[in-house]
Structure 1
Amino acid sequence: MADEGTSTKPVRPSMGSMRSSSFLQDHQQYRPPNKPENHYGIDTVVEDIQASQISSPRQISPFNGIPSSENPPKIVESGVTHEFSHPNCTPAPGSRTDRLVATLFYRSSAPRISNAIPSPQRVPSPPRAPHSPKISALDADIPPTMAPSSSLETFPLEPPSSEPEPLDHLYGSHISPMCITSFLHLMSTFPLPPNSPSPTSAHRCLKLSAAHENHPEVVELTLSPAPSADYLSLADLRKHELIYRFEQEWNVDVALRADTLWRRYPRLVVFDMDSTLITQEVIDLLAATITDPPDLAARVADITHRAMLGELEFDSAFRERVKLLTGLSGEIFTQLRQVLEVTNGVRPLLRALKKLGVKTAVLSGGFLPLTSWLAGELGIDYAHANEVVIDEATGRLTGEVKGRIVGKERKKELLLEIAEKEGIDLQQVVAVGDGANDLLMMEAAGLGVAWNAKPRVQMEAGARLNGESLLDLLHLFGFTEEEIQQLVA
């Protein structure tokens, strides 16, 4: 019995021997899967380091095989896997690389319609606006092989050839993985050179869509080895029906080039002027200023169109059109400066080429006063065009042309002269145009590029660009969009 006056202090309850060295271990109700049983968390290490079992470091087994192309040495460590194989690297000493580069441009500005054909009995729809974002099958033109008639007597004997369905509608309005897979499968159908190694490929995305950042609009594919030149030359491969059909199916342009040093380092780029550097035809602008006779502008435009298609010989067609301009004031060339519309992307493209040290030239079948002025405005190094005769007394056009007309032969000669003067190999020359009178200079250059061109030019040129900005030309040299923005800044 306790002494009087002495208070008894209550005993504090405790869990006694039930307590372990880890609070988390006592109260843990869930243990994540795939955790070793001897792992209790950081509190175990801090409170009871002696009792924990720390596993020894994992032993790295040495590579016991013999490195070869079939069994390359491999490093696997900390989540990184790297194999020492070189299918797309530098070739072995004594051998040469034979690679083909295919640049795919998605035609985002020109969505393809389905191959539904409107009924011949249907009243034609009103004309669609030039840049309407939506195209319906009902607005489609009747194919040239489909007669606009419901009479069997006047109907064509052969049905119209159907275009392939636009697969980008199904797999994505961009260069999708299925598009790339389809292209690789297509290229695998062409024979390879004898005794060539197994084909390999690699790709780079050069440009992403501005609206959808993960959707590529320009993709560069490198194929090694290239298809056998003995079976099919590069020029014929570009015109192959399978390539054309692939472009139609996936709504893309395919530019095929040999992967050479010259592809990446152009030194001279030559441009046509009308419908290339500018969006108009100057001679049509001149004709539009003459109101008497009232149909003069339409007559000149028709001759221009047929000459660009290659239906008319350019030199005689040009003389005929200039003759129709007789009496026009020579001051008109100064007045037209204000209405010239420079093609989208031309100004930043020329800035980029100048930073790269590339010489530029404009070879125009138009008129020298406007061509020289535009070259000065854009910073182009060379300018050649036609010189018309102006009567000194009246100051008006006589309808005559001075000197040789800058037609297709003269354009080729001028390209060769500029390249020789600058000491530039023709493989480092690029020619850009849209009409049939540009084909010879495109053929003489290392690369001829058809820019929103006429059908014949699209087929004959080495590469096709059918986009909204001529700045896309830099993608043909292998520049990414990030690199292009650095050049044009």
Structure 2
Amino acid sequence: MADDAGSDKQARPSMTAAMRSSSFLKEHQQYRPPNKPENHYGIDTVVEDMQAAQISPPRQISPFNGIPSPENPPKIVESGVTHELSHPNCTPAPGTRSERLVATMFYRSAAPRVSNAIPSPNKVPSSPRAPHSPKLAALDSEIPPNMAPSSSLETFPLEPPASEPEPLDHLYGSHISPMCITSFLHLMSSFPLPPGSANPTSGHRCLKLGASHEHHPEVVELTLSPAPSPDYLSLADLRKHELIYRFEREWNVDVALRSDTLWRRYPRLVVFDMDSTLITQEVIDLLAATIKDPPDLAARVADITHRAMIGELEFDSAFRERVKLLTGLPTSIFEELRPVLDVTNGVPELIRALKRLGVKTAVLSGGFLPLTGWLAGELGIDHAHANEVVTDEATGKLTGEVKGRIVGKERKRELLLEIAKKEGVALEQVVAVGDGANDLLMMEAAGLGVAWNAKPRVQMEADTRLNGDSLLDLLHLFGFTEEEIQQLTARS
């Protein structure tokens, strides 16, 4: 049986003499490419065969001799990614100093401009029977709202302004487009550079994208090196230059110009006004609106407030005049007004972000301390100062008098200096935010003064201005991106 089983087995395959060759590798290789003749094997012959075949388009590789230079910078190009080992805005050479200018551009998406050929959407047709109020007169005026303190042609001190430039963002995109950036760089190239400066360079990065599905840039930071010569034009004058103003009108943007210093990125104290800044209302107008007798009291108080904010009246005398109109109001009205206060969009998140960064905050208000102190406690603000009104202890009503010094423009400046000294903060690291003429002195004392949706005169005098719908935009001035702001404002 064993022999029968062995006879059924197939013979073990073996190479005959005719199948053998002189190459062991050739005889024992397990795989041969199809359709290849026997004599095609080995790496040398494969390379020779591929020389005639073009597998992919040739790629241009720039020569690099191993020594970086402006003419021959080290550049690596791989899989569509370009990486340069040097950049014109890097740390300057030893013994030199960089003088860079940072321009942060905010697109005003909430306030679109229209062509001069199209009637203004803000025009309100006035009825011949209705009285022509100052507010309606401002709406009917052809003078741009941020052009001058006065909105009346009769009281305008100079000639009427020239026709407005056409809105170019309608042509190139309702965002900060590449053409907008190119136009700004071309504008800045018209200013002379410091003597002996190298060719100007620039770089930009997007800080915030729009909410639309296209996600176009709405906040862009540009770095220009070197900055225009300060001997020709100081930074304060550059901010007010007519070419900058026209550019902003053409492209519907706000341009914040700052020197690229260490303090720009690291503030340590931020001081806020309260009315129309931390909140959207004027507290004294809210108080007047609660009084029904006499019926025209609210209008009289609002008129005094408006004239004081645009600088036509001294704030101190205007405030005393308005407080007298509130005589007889019960002190409990301050508690009743707390739920009515409308906090400006982005303020709670901004205060939270500043606290996480270790930045001290303060509110200096020309309003009333009972409301200012309460709001500061709710938001977590470190310092709060406002006016103290006198009350009749017997009746519990306002007497129409103010205790101590009024927190006007001079007092706000003094308080800012006192708080900065107490906290040990250099003025270069102080930021002041406000909207009225009584905020200008504290803005001037701070390292950076920011006009927030401000009155026309304040827009012109402040270091920079924000006209958005969220006060969180303030963080973009420090160089934070939208992603970083979300990390700072996230609830722990």
TM-score by length of 2: 0.81
- Corresponding position of 1:103: 104
| Conservation of the 8 A alpha-carbon contact between 2:64 and 2:72 | no
C-alpha distance 160-263 of structure 1, shift in aligned 2 (>3 A): closer
Q: CA deviation at 1:97?
A: 1.1
**Identity fraction in percent:** 83
| Conservation of the 8 A alpha-carbon contact between 2:124 and 2:139 | no
| Conservation of the 8 A alpha-carbon contact between 1:434 and 1:454 | yes
C-alpha distance 200-298 of structure 1, shift in aligned 2 (>3 A): same
| Runs of at least 5 residues in structure 1 that lack an aligned partner in the other structure | 1-42, 128-138, 146-156
SS where residue 388 of structure 1 aligns? strand
C-alpha distance 485-76 of structure 1, shift in aligned 2 (>3 A): closer
Q: CA deviation at 1:65?
A: 7.4
- Corresponding position of 1:176: 177
- Corresponding position of 1:415: 416
Q: Distance in 2 between matches of 1:368 and 1:291?
A: 24
| Conservation of the 8 A alpha-carbon contact between 1:348 and 1:471 | yes
For residues 317-328 of structure 1, what are the structure 2 equivalents within 5 Å?
317-328=318-329
- Corresponding position of 1:15: none
* Post-superposition CA distance 1:106-132 (Å, at most 9, x none): 00011111113759xxx96479xxxxx
SS where residue 207 of structure 1 aligns? strand
| Conservation of the 8 A alpha-carbon contact between 1:307 and 1:314 | yes
| Conservation of the 8 A alpha-carbon contact between 1:118 and 1:140 | no
Q: Distance in 2 between matches of 1:81 and 1:117?
A: 46
- Corresponding position of 1:446: 447
- Corresponding position of 2:47: 55
Q: CA deviation at 1:75?
A: 4.0
SS where residue 485 of structure 2 aligns? helix
- Corresponding position of 2:433: 432
Q: CA deviation at 1:284?
A: 0.4
- Corresponding position of 1:150: none
- Corresponding position of 1:143: 142
C-alpha distance 206-81 of structure 1, shift in aligned 2 (>3 A): closer
Q: CA deviation at 1:301?
A: 0.4
- Aligned letter for 2:470? S
C-alpha distance 142-434 of structure 1, shift in aligned 2 (>3 A): closer
Q: Does residue 299 of structure 1 match 2:308?
A: no
- Corresponding position of 1:469: 470
Q: How many residues align?
A: 422
- Corresponding position of 2:256: 255
* Post-superposition CA distance 1:345-388 (Å, at most 9, x none): 00111111111111000000000000000000000000000000
- Corresponding position of 2:91: 90
C-alpha distance 221-124 of structure 1, shift in aligned 2 (>3 A): closer
Q: Distance in 2 between matches of 1:178 and 1:62?
A: 33
For residues 11-410 of structure 1, what are the structure 2 equivalents within 5 Å?
45=33, 48=36, 51=40, 53-55=45-47, 63-64=64-65, 67-76=68-77, 80-116=81-117, 125=125, 141-144=140-143, 161-410=162-411
Q: Distance in 1 between matches of 2:393 and 2:119?
A: 58
- Aligned letter for 2:142? P
C-alpha distance 210-392 of structure 1, shift in aligned 2 (>3 A): same
| Conservation of the 8 A alpha-carbon contact between 1:117 and 1:142 | no
- Corresponding position of 2:9: none
SS where residue 46 of structure 2 aligns? coil
Q: Distance in 2 between matches of 1:44 and 1:467?
A: 71
C-alpha distance 92-367 of structure 1, shift in aligned 2 (>3 A): same
47-56 vs 304-313, which moves further: 47-56
| Runs of at least 5 residues in structure 2 that lack an aligned partner in the other structure | 1-30, 52-60, 128-137, 145-157
SS where residue 94 of structure 1 aligns? coil
Q: Distance in 2 between matches of 1:105 and 1:272?
A: 22
SS where residue 405 of structure 2 aligns? coil
SS where residue 55 of structure 1 aligns? helix
| Conservation of the 8 A alpha-carbon contact between 1:268 and 1:424 | yes
Q: CA deviation at 1:141?
A: 3.4
- RMSD of aligned residue pairs (Cα, Å): 2.7
* Post-superposition CA distance 1:418-462 (Å, at most 9, x none): 110010111111100000000000011111000000001001111
| Conservation of the 8 A alpha-carbon contact between 1:118 and 1:142 | no
Q: Distance in 2 between matches of 1:477 and 1:359?
A: 15
| Conservation of the 8 A alpha-carbon contact between 2:273 and 2:439 | yes
C-alpha distance 314-45 of structure 1, shift in aligned 2 (>3 A): farther
- Aligned letter for 2:211? A
C-alpha distance 126-178 of structure 1, shift in aligned 2 (>3 A): farther
Q: Distance in 2 between matches of 1:463 and 1:44?
A: 74
